[in-house]
Chain A
Amino acid sequence: MAETILSISHLTKRFDDQTILEDLSLEVREGEVVVIVGSSGCGKSTLLRCINALEDIQGGEIRLRGELIRYGSKNLPEMRRKVGMVFQNYELFPHLTVLENILLAPVKAQKRSREEVREEALTLLDRVGLKEKAGSYPRQLSGGQKQRVAIVRALCMHPEILLFDEVTAALDPEMVREVLDVIVSLADQGKTMLIVTHEMSFARAVADRIILLEDRNILEESDPETFFTAPKTEQAKKFLQSFEFNRKNKAEA
């Protein structure tokens, strides 16, 4: 069995007196693609933000290859460099070109040679079909293009694990595909990924393991075939049915 990259144990997260996650434990092994699903507001995004220590946690611990990731700790920037994060709204830096967006952290934070990173960045941009946009500013790109740049930006850091936070939720439908295709190809390359998404067919195709988050904790955890064809819990069935219902509506329309 492959080595454990990310291990979360007994994680509890509260905002003021509202508990979002409680006593949650989860492990992700090298090369594994884990997809987290669940109804809106169940804490999926918060979980990802905790892993990157963008949120403080009130209990438990998070380790990356055995090393503790702790909010406010001295080596946090160093730990974060090993975790690639892609946000729902891309969060490219508007004052920098596509290439500068990608080069900034590897050059400034990782102190790698500009030339080397530049070459890598252009190769990756080429692979997602955006090589000719290297000198453009984010505002000149479509949503789907921006999100692909954001993925390249995260990849160039050579992270141990990639976190995707509903990366297609803000996109127009015709652009969803181009982004998801990139992620699927990353999965094929054996990247370790933790993905939060509402795209069920994508989840089914890309995931090694599906996790259903409800009620502050993991409710169901299984391989995609089992999850989609034979869910164990009533809530999982209900959750999946909400998509079925949507689909019927679409067919009628």
Chain B
Amino acid sequence: MRTIRNIIALAIALVLALSLVVTASADVVYRTLDEIKASGTINIGVFSDKNPFGYVDENGEYQGYDVYFARRIGEDLGVTVNYVSTEAANRVEYLETGKVDIVLANFTVTPERAEKVDFALPYMNVALGVVSPDSRVIKDLSELTADDQVIVISGTTAEDYLIKNNPEILLQKYDTYANAKNALENGNAAAWANDNTEVIAFALQNEGYTVGIPSLGSQDTIAPAVSKGNESLLNWINDEIRALAGENFFHKDYEETLVDTYGLDYEDSLVLEGGGLAE
């Protein structure tokens, strides 16, 4: 995974270099709200294999928490939605080249990304979480002794966070989700730190485990993103998110798409209505 990430970084660097060398690049890459409406189609980048946020069902239809919102955007704009299958690695690039109008792909807001794309109001919370066996539920990182180890997946936010903020904790690193899961089930470590959505889903699906720490570190949010400078579209999305708060749209979305994975207990902590202003 490391090398793939490096290769993609190289690719992006080269794309940037190419665009610097050739000055003939178009100034405006994006389509304004009016242009989208006039064309009758909006291109929305979503995940196609990240159940339950964005995936494709057995009939070839896009589904999931993000897609539910995308579909509503299409309806309220009065245009057809063209779903574009994106990857974590190319979401920014898609917006920077205007190949999609909006990205709705579990896109976490970070300062680095905000320099390249414009985020609209958030519609979901994410944080880190820690899951541990019921026999010894870890409710705070201070409960860990010097002998305890914590499982992380290499390259994740959880790894970075623990190295930075709790360097005294011994980490057990794995490359894949499956290996990390096996390690916890074999009792190789005291706990497993990952995105809270991941550990919540794990605890729900595997008996004998509890998420002792559902929210660790700073709370991040997930938001729609548009190309840098596309104000007309950005404003429309923000207005839309505020308006949808009136009908508790994202709670409905959660109950349709996420409740099977995360259960009702976490609905209020995960869902954001009206960009969080309604709270």
Q: Do chains A and B touch in the complex (CB under 8 A)?
A: no
